[in-house]
Each structure stands twice: as structure tokens, then as C-alpha cells.
């Protein structure tokens, strides 16, 4: 049994360590915002391309209904905005070698993964704002029936997508990262329940959609906005999204330790 005075000392020492780690992550996050937020890949893939898809999706609202297509607009915006910032920052720093200097700072894998993920989440929330403005302009209204559930779904989605891009960027060669990430993006868009409703896919492919996290994210957003879902019930969707997010974080953390340690 730990003595009371030792327990108090341990607790007091752990708190500052946690604050120091968070401070390091935020410092890198702010540095990334200043250095990368106007990079062409971030602007094109993170904002311009999702806006183009949103415009196309608005043309199908009358055919499939708002409850099907509007959540898809949010999911697409989150996907591209969250993945663009994290991927660009990691890839650029791997190419010029500055990411290794961050490790020598010294920073831990936790600091590195958390900071890059924060950048993706920040841009993901900007993507949500873009989607919100677009939906309001094209439909004239905005419906969110379960605002707390909707907010939690948006935050988890931005975390998941950001961590996915961090993991791919850490694992792959910088020149191949965009190609691999686009394969993942477009697979989720067309086969992961975003743009094409699951019922319109071939029967064998309908089962395949359950392997895509985007299906659960889109259904979560749909429930938060319209109190309905297409494939998976809202609480199962939220739990699956949380499990995938936590798993991606730990895998990204382990990958950072292996990839960035000389």
C-alpha cells in the first residue's frame, strides 16, 4: 500500500508532467497553423474540393431527401478538412527532416501525435462551419434535433479522420502519402455510406460498407440532426467510432515511436 505522503507527491508530480506535455502539443499545433494553413494542398483538398462536392450533393437533395444528403455534406467536409492539415504538416516535416528535430527537442510520441491531431481537428471544425453555411444557403434552414449528440459526433469524427491521416503520413513515404490517403478518402465517400446510400449498392457490397468508419460517422451525424439513421443505430455508431478513434491513436503513437526514432 502506497503511503499517503508518497501518494500525494506522486499525484503532485504527475499533474505538472501532464500539463507540460499538453503545452508542448499546443506549441507545435500553433506552429503548424502558422506554417501550413495557407499551403496549397491544405486549401485545395481541405476546403475547395469539399465545397465542390457539397455543391454536387445539393443537386441530389430533392431526389434522396435532406436526411440522407445533408449529413453526407458534413461527413465529406470533415473527412477532407481533418485529413488535409495533418497529412501536409507531417509529410512536409518528414521531407525536410524537421520532424526529427521535434523528437530531439525532446518530445515524446504522445506530444507529436497529439499536436498533429489537434491541427486536423481544428481544420475539421472549420470544415463543419463551411458545411453549415453551405447547407443553410442551399436549403434555407438548419435542423439539429440532438445538439449534444451531434456535437460529440462531430468531435469524434474530426479526431478519427485526423488520426487516420497522421497514421498514414507517419507510415508512408511522403510522395506516396497523398495517393494512399486519397484511396482511403474516396473509398469512404463512395463505399462507406457517405454519398451513395447503402441500399443502392449491390447486395455483396452492402456488407462491405460496415467495415468503413465513415458509415458510423455519417449515421451519427444523421441522428444528431434528424433523429433518424440509415444503417446502424446511433449508440452503436458512437461506440464504434470511439473504439476506432482510440485504436487509431494508439497505433499512430506506436508508429511514431518506430518511424521517428533513428
20 backbone dihedrals φ, ψ, rounded to 5°: -65, -45
How many C-beta neighbours within 10 Å does residue 186 have?
Answer: 14
What pLDDT does residue 1 have? 40
pTM of the model: 0.84
State the residue range of the domain holding 109.
36-260
pLDDT in tens, 52-68: 777 777 777 777 778 88
30 versus 162: which is more confidently predicted?
162
Residue 128 lies in a domain: yes
Reply yes or no on whether the pLDDT at 18 is more than 70: no
Residue 140 lies in a domain: yes
**Quick one: CA dihedral 104, 105, 110, 114, positive or negative?**
negative
What pLDDT does residue 30 have? 80
What pLDDT does residue 133 have? 86
- Find all residues with CB under 8 Å of 132, minimum gap 6, and list them: 142
Quote the CA–CA distance of 33 and 39 in Å, as a whole number.
Answer: 10
Residue 173 lies in a domain: yes
Compute the mean pLDDT over every residue in the chain, rounded to the nearest whole number: 80
CA distance readout (Å), 109 to 86, 88, 112, 197, 254: 15, 18, 5, 39, 8
Residue 9 lies in a domain: no
Mean pLDDT of 70-92: 85
Residue 55 lies in a domain: yes
Residue 15 lies in a domain: no
Residue 29 lies in a domain: no
Q: What single string gives the DSSP state of each residue in 61-125?
A: HHHH-HHHHHHHHHHHHHHHHHHHHHHHHHHHHHHHSHHHHHHTTT--HHHHHHHHHHHHHHHHH
**Number of independent structural domains in the chain:** 1
Residue 248 lies in a domain: yes
Amino acid at each position: 500500500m502506497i503511503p499517503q505522503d508518497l501518494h500525494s507527491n506522486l499525484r503532485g508530480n504527475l499533474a505538472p508532467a501532464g500539463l507540460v506535455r499538453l503545452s508542448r502539443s499546443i506549441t507545435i499545433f500553433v506552429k503548424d497553423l502558422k506554417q501550413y494553413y495557407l499551403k496549397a494542398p491544405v486549401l485545395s483538398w481541405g476546403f475547395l474540393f469539399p465545397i465542390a462536392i457539397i455543391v454536387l450533393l445539393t443537386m441530389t437533395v430533392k431526389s434522396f431527401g435532406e436526411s440522407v444528403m445533408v449529413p453526407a455534406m458534413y461527413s465529406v467536409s470533415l473527412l477532407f478538412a481533418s485529413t488535409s492539415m495533418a497529412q501536409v504538416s507531417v509529410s512536409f516535416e518528414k521531407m525536410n527532416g524537421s520532424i526529427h528535430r521535434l523528437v530531439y527537442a525532446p518530445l515524446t510520441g504522445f506530444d507529436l501525435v497529439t499536436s498533429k491531431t489537434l491541427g486536423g481537428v481544428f481544420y475539421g471544425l472549420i470544415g463543419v462551419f463551411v458545411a453549415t453555411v453551405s447547407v443553410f444557403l442551399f436549403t434555407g434552414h438548419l435542423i439539429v434535433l440532438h445538439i449534444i449528440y451531434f456535437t460529440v459526433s462531430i468531435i469524434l469524427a474530426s479526431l478519427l479522420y485526423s488520426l487516420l491521416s497522421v497514421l498514414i503520413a507517419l507510415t508512408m513515404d511522403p510522395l506516396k502519402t497523398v495517393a494512399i490517403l486519397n484511396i482511403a478518402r474516396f473509398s469512404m465517400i463512395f463505399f462507406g455510406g457517405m454519398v451513395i446510400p447503402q441500399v443502392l449498392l449491390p447486395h455483396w457490397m452492402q456488407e462491405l460498407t460496415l467495415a468503413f468508419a465513415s458509415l458510423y460517422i455519417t449515421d451519427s451525424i444523421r441522428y444528431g440532426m434528424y433523429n433518424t439513421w440509415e444503417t446502424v443505430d446511433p449508440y452503436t455508431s458512437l461506440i464504434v467510432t470511439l473504439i476506432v478513434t482510440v485504436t487509431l491513436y494508439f497505433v499512430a503513437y506506436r508508429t511514431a515511436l518506430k518511424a521517428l526514432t533513428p
